[in-house]
Amino acid sequence: MGPVTAGVLQALALIGALAIVHVPLGNHMARVYSSSRHLRVEKWLYKGIGVDPDAEMLWTAYLRGVLAFSFAGVLFLYLLQRVQGILPGALGFDPVEPAQAFNTAASFVANTNWQSYHGEQTMGHVVQTAGLAVQNFVSAAVGMAVAVALVRGFARARTGELGNFWSDLVRGVTRVLVPLAVVGALVLVACGVIQNFSGIHEVGQFTGGSQQWNGGAVASQEVIKELGTNGGGYFNANSAHPFENPTPFTNLLEIFLILMIPVSLTRTFGLMVGSVRQGYAILATMATIWVGFVALMMWTEFAHHEGALRIAGGAMEGKELRFGIGGSSIFAVTTTLTSTGAVDSSHSSYTGFGGGIAMLGMMLGEIAPGGVGSGLYGMLIMAIVAVFIAGLMVGRTPEYLGKKIGPREIKLAAVYILITPTLVLVFTSLALALPTPPDSMLNPGAHGFSEVLYAFTSAANNNGSAFAGLNADTGWFNTATGLVMLLGRFLPMVLVLALAGSLAAQQPVPATAGTLRTETPVFTGLLVGAIAIIVGLTYFPALALGPLAEGLA
C-alpha cells in the first residue's frame, strides 16, 4: 500500500467513526443541556459554589459568570505555578517565573494551551494534574456553555434568558467531558500511553551517554487535551512524543477525540432549535472545509520535485516515521481547524504552502468543525453574515431560524469577525517593529515573518501550536501572547452572548415564500463562499508576505 493510499484510508476511517458517534453523542448533549434534573454530585458542586442552578440568566448575568469563573481560574493557576517549589511532586523544579506563569495561566484558561516552556522540564506533577489538566476540562466546558447559550437565543422567544451558566458549566464537565475522558484514557493506557507519578530517571542512549526522563499522569491529560480541543502536551514534543502518542492507531484515535464533540454539537444544535436539517447544513459546511484542507495539505506534502524528497516519498522533514505524511497531514489540519494546537509533527518544517494551509485554518476562525463550543458559535456567526449578504442581494430583511437579522445583530457579528484579525495583525506588526522581539526569530526572510505571524494567529484564535523557529520564551512574547490569548477568547464571548440575548428577546417570524432556506446545499455553498472571501480579503496581504512568498520561492 502506498503512502498516499494509506493517508486517504485513514481519512475515510476517521469520517466513518465520526458518522457513528454523531447521532448518539449529539442526542446525549441535547438532553444534557435541556434537562431540568440535577445529579447528586452536581448538587454538591452547586452548594459549594453557592449558586442556584435553576435561576435563569440574562446575557449580562451569564457573561458575568463566564468572566468571574475564568478570572478565578487565571489567578489560581498563576499562584499554583508560583509556589511550585514547595508543592509535593515538584520533581525539584523551581517556581515558574512571573511572565511565564502569567502566559501559561492565560493560555490554559483561554483554552489555548500555548506552551513556550519545556513541559516535562518545567512543571511538576501537581501543577500538571491539579492545574493544567483541570483547566483543560473547565475551559472546554465554558466554550460549550457559551455555544449552548447562543443556540438557546435562536430557540427561545420574547425572553432575554439564556439558561444558567453554572448549570451548563457543571453539566458539561460531569455528563460529557469526564465520562468520555475516562473511557478515552483507559484506551490510551491500553495502547501504551503512560500513566504514573514516577520521578526522574536516568536513561541510557543508543549512541552513548544518558538522558533524564520523568513520568506523569500522561494518559489522563492527553485525552482531555484532545477531547476538549485544548492541545497542551505533557511533554515538550507534544503528541509526537511516544509516551503521549505511541502508534499510528493512537494517532488516529487522538484525531477522532479532537473532532467528536465539535462534530456532534451540530446535531445538538439542530435538535435544540427544532430542525435537525439545520444542523446537517452546518455540519456539511464544516465537512466541506475540513476535507478540502486535508486534500490540499496532503497534496502539498506529497508533491515533490527535489531529488531528496522523491527518495523520501514526500516532505518528511519534521514528521514521525510511525505516522507518515498522511497521518501527520490529517493531524495538522485537524488541530489548526479546531483550536486544539496539539502537534504530532513540526509545522515549521512543512513546505511553504503546507505551513500556510495550517495558518489559514486558524485564520478562518477555527470553525471546521472548530473548538469545543467555540467552533459552533463561530460558524453560527458566519451563517448570520451569509444570510445578511443574501438578504442584500435580493433586497429583503435577512432572517435566520425565524429571527430577523437587524442592525444590532449584524453589528455584533461584524465586530466578532474583526476582533481576531485586528489582534493578529496589530501584534505581529508590533513584534516586527520593536527592536527586541526580532532577536527571537531564528530564521530570516519570509519564513521568519511566518513564524511571528503564526504565533499571533495561534494566540488570537486560541490554538496554541507554533512554528518551532521562534523563541517565544521571552518577557515580551510571554506578556504579549498572554494578553492576545485572553482578548481573543473573551471579547468574542461578550459579543456572542450579547447576540444571544438579542435573539432570545425577539418574536419569531413565520417563514414565507421569500424566506431564504438555510438547510439546503445552496446555503452551504453560500456559507463556504462567504467564509473564504471574508478571510481571504482580511489575511491575504499578510499571507502573501509569508507562506505564499516562501512557497513560490
Would you state the pLDDT for residue 304? 62
Please provide the distance, in angstroms rounded to a whole number, between the alpha carbons at the two ends of the chain: 33
Whether the Cβ atoms of residue 124 and residue 84 lie closer than 8 Å to each other: yes
pLDDT (0 to 100) of residue 152:
97
Per domain, the residue ranges of the chain are 3-552
Residue 464 has pLDDT above 60, yes or no: yes
List all residues 6 or more positions away from 513 whose beta carbon is below 8 Å from its beta carbon.
Answer: none
Distances (CA, A) of 249 to 185, 188, 189, 258: 14, 10, 13, 14
Cell numbers 483507559 correspond to 186
Q: What is the pLDDT at residue 95?
A: 93
Secondary structure (DSSP) of 211-237: EEEE--SHHHHHHHHHHTT----SSTT
Task: Report the alpha-carbon distance of residue 67 to residue 74 in Å, rounded.
Answer: 10
Asked if pLDDT for residue 274 goes beyond 70, the answer is yes
Cell numbers for 360, please give them.
489559514
What CA–CA distance (Å, rounded) separates 525 from 167? Answer: 36
- Of the ranges 58-62, 246-250, 391-395, which one carries the lowest mean pLDDT score? 391-395
Q: How far apart are the C-alpha atoms of 122 and 116, rounded to whole Å?
A: 11
- What letter would DSSP give residue 129? I
Residue 39 DSSP label: -
Query: For 103-152, how does the pLDDT look when each residue is reduced to its tens digit (9 = 90+)?
Result: 999 999 999 999 888 777 889 889 999 999 999 999 999 999 999 999 99
Query: Shortest CA distance to 243 belongs to which of 218, 225, 221?
Result: 218
pLDDT at 28: 97
Q: How many CB atoms lie within 10 A of CB 35?
A: 12
In the prediction, which pLDDT does 32 show? 97
For 538, the enclosing helix (H) or strand (E) is helix 521-545
Grid coordinates standing for 131? 492545574
Name all contacts of 247-250 with Cβ < 8 Å and 24+ positions apart.
247/191, 247/192, 247/322, 248/322, 248/323, 248/324, 248/327, 249/191, 250/188, 250/191, 250/192, 250/193
As a dihedral over the C-alpha atoms of residue 358, residue 361, residue 365, residue 367, rounded to 10 degrees, the angle is: -130
Does residue 306 have a pLDDT over 70?
no
Q: CA-to-CA distance for 308 and 408, rounded, in angstroms?
A: 57
For 181-210, letters b (16+ CB in 10 Å) and e give: beebbebbbeeebbbeeeeeeeeeeeeeee
For residue 399, list its beta bridge partners. Answer: 404
Q: Alpha-carbon distance 224 to 342, whole Å?
A: 11
- Best-predicted range by mean pLDDT (199-208, 417-426, 533-542): 417-426
Residue 201 is given by DSSP the state E
For helices 352-363 and 521-545, angle between their N-to-C axes, nearest 10 degrees = 120
Q: What mean pLDDT comes out for the span 205-231?
A: 86
pLDDT digits (tens, 9 = 90+) for 503-520: 999 998 888 877 889 999
- What is the rounded average pLDDT of the residues 398-409? 92
Q: What is the mean pLDDT of residues 168-188?
A: 97
Q: How confident is the model at residue 211 (pLDDT cuts 50, 70, 90)?
A: confident
Distance CA 30, CA 265 (A): 8
Within 8 A by CB and 6+ apart from 508, the residues are: 157, 402, 403
pLDDT at residue 305, rounded to an integer:
56
What average pLDDT does this structure show over 429-436? 82
- Give the per-residue pLDDT at 310: 55
Cα pseudo-dihedral 361, 373, 461, 345, rounded to 10: -50
pTM to 2 decimals? 0.94
Average pLDDT over the chain, rounded to an integer: 91
Residue 52: phi and psi, rounded to 5, are -100, 110
Give the bridge partners for 161, in sequence order: 58
Instruction: Name the residue with higher pLDDT: 311 or 362.
Output: 362
pLDDT in tens, 308-325: 555 555 667 778 888 988
Cell of 169: 458549566
**Residue owning grid cell 453523542:** 25
* pLDDT for res 34: 95
Among 547, 47, 12, 524, smallest CA distance to 280 is for 524
**pLDDT digits 0-9 by tens, 340-352:** 989 999 888 888 8
State the Cα–Cα distance between residues 184 and 228, nearest whole angstrom: 12
Rounded to whole angstroms, what are the CA distances from 371 to 22, 261, 297, 337, 396? 16, 9, 20, 8, 33
Residue 167 and residue 57 in contact, taking contact as beta carbons nearer than 8 Å: no
pLDDT value, residue 201:
75
Cell of 221: 491529560
Report CA-CA distances (Å) from 131 to 18, 88, 169: 30, 13, 18
